[in-house]
Amino acid sequence: MSGPQPPREAAGEVAERPGRIEAVEVRHPWRWVAVAVIAVLALMLAHLLVTNDQFDWGFTLEVMNQNIVLRGLLVGTLFTTVCAMAIGIVGGVLLAVLRLSDNPVLAGVSWAFTWFFRAVPRYVLLSLTGGLGALFATGLSIGVPFDFLLTQWFGTPQLRLLSIDQQALYALFGGVFGGIVGLGLSEAAYMAEIARAGLLSVDKGQHEAAEALGMTKRLAMRRVVLPQAMRVIVPPTGNEVIAMLKDTSLLVAIPVTTELFYRVSQIKNQTYEVMASNMAAVLYYLLATSLLMVGQYFLERRFGRGYGASPRRPAAAGVSLGPGGAK
C-alpha cells in the first residue's frame, strides 16, 4: 500500500485515547420554518372543520348511526370487499400458475381472461353482470352439457342436477351476488399479474432445490415457491383490497342499493346536508382502510419471515443467539 501511514504505537505501549469531539452540530433553520408553515396550515384546517357550519358533525354522526347506512356498510361494502377479494386472490394465483404453465392452451386461456377483464371498466362490467339473468330465459342448470341434443337424438331423459329458474337468476345477479361476481372476476385479472410477478421473483434455484429433494412440482409450488412469492404479492395486494373497498361504491351499476355510499347519498338527497352526509361516508372509508392497514402489517410480518433479523421463537427452539451468528 502506498500513501501516508498513520503513526504507529510501539508494541506494548498503551496509547492515550483521544477525547470525545465537542463540536457544534450543523443547524437546520429551514426545518423550523417548514414546521411553522405546516402548523399554521393545520390550524387553518382545524378551524375550518370546527367553525364552518357546512360541517355539522352531530348530523354526520347521526347519519353514521342510521340502520340503512350500517347495513349498507356491512353488506354492500365490507362483505362484498371480502368476497370479491377472496375470488380475486384465489383466481389470480390460479391464473398466474396457468399463465406460467408449459401448456400453451392453459397459458392462452389465462391471457385471454386477463385481457378481457382488464379492458372492461368495472362500472360497465357491473352493469353487465347485473343483467346476466336476461341471458338465461329457460333458467340455468348444472348437469351434462348439451343434454337437450342427446334428448332430441336418443330420447335420453334430461341429465340435470341443479336448476335455477330465470326469476331467481335475475334476483341473484341483480343483487350483491352479481356485484361480487363482477368485482371478483375483475380483481382476479389484476391479481393474476401481481401473483405472476411474485412467482417470477422466486429464484430458479429454489425450484431446483425442492425438486432435488424429491418434491413434485405441485408440492414445491405450495411449500417453497408460493410462500416466498407471498412476500412480493402481499404489499400490492393490500393496495388492491383498499381499492376494492372503494370500488364497492360502483355497485350502484348493478343496481345494488344496500351499499354505504348509496345509502349516504339517499340521506344527502333528502336533507340537502351535502358536506355532513358525505363526511359520514368518508369517515367510514377511513376507518375501514385503517383496519385493513393493520391487517396488512401482520401479513407482511408473517411472510417476511427469514428476511428480518430475529430468529423464530428462539426460546422455544432452545437456541441461544451468539453475537457472531448473523452475517
Q: CB under 8 Å to 81, separation ≥6 — which residues?
A: 241, 244, 245, 248
Q: Which amino acid is at 210?
A: A
The contact mask relative to other proteins for 230-259 (x = CB under 8 A, - = no) is: -x----------------------------
Name residue, grid cell 371478483. Answer: 184
Nearer to other proteins, 62 or 211 (CB): 211
Among 43, 48, 168, 213, binds other proteins (CB under 8 A): 213
Q: Looking at residue 101, what DSSP letter applies?
A: S
Please name the residues in contact with 144: beta carbons below 8 A apart, sequence gap of 6 or more. Answer: 150, 159, 160
- Asked if 82 touches other proteins (CB under 8 A), the answer is no
Q: Which stretch binds other proteins (CB under 8 A): 49-57, 84-92, 211-219, 290-298?
A: 211-219
Mark 214-233 with x for binding to other proteins (rule: CB under 8 A) and - for no binding: xxxx-x---xx--xx--x--
Q: How far is the CB of 295 from other proteins (least distance, A)?
A: 20
Task: Quote the Cα angle for 228-234-240, to 5°.
Answer: 150
- Identity of the residue, 27 or 312, whose beta carbon is nearer to other proteins in the bound complex: 312
Residue 306 binds to other proteins (criterion: CB under 8 A) = yes
Is the distance from CB of 116 to CB of 140 less than 8 angstroms? no
Nearest 5°: the CA angle 54, 58, 60 is: 70
Candidates 148-156, 169-177, 272-280, 315-323 — which segment interacts with other proteins by CB under 8 A?
315-323
- Using the Cα atoms of residue 140, residue 145, residue 146 and residue 151 in order, give the sign of their dihedral: negative
The binder of other proteins chosen from 17, 20, 27, 312 (CB under 8 A): 312
Of the candidates 164, 172, 180, the one whose C-alpha atom is nearest the C-alpha of residue 91 is 180
Among 4, 6, 29, 322, binds other proteins (CB under 8 A): 322
Q: Does 307 bind other proteins (CB under 8 A)?
A: yes
Taking phi over 0 as left and psi of -120 to 50 as alpha, with beta for the rest, 3 belongs to left
Q: Does 311 bind other proteins (CB under 8 A)?
A: yes
* 309 near other proteins, rule: CB under 8 A: yes
Please report whether residue 212 would count as binding other proteins according to CB under 8 A: yes
The smaller minimum CB distance to other proteins, of residues 162 and 309, is found at 309
| Residue type at 266 in one-letter notation | Q
Look up residue 54 and give its amino acid.
Q
Would you give the DSSP letter of residue 221? I
The residue range among 79-87, 234-242, 258-266, 298-306 that interacts with other proteins, by the rule CB under 8 A, is 298-306
211 scored as a contact of other proteins (CB under 8 A): yes
C-alpha cell at 187: 380483481
The helix/strand/coil state of 140 is: strand
Interface with other proteins, residue 108, by CB under 8 A = no
| Residues near other proteins (CB under 8 A) | 203, 205-206, 208-217, 219, 223-224, 227-228, 231, 303, 305-307, 309, 311-314, 317-322, 325-327
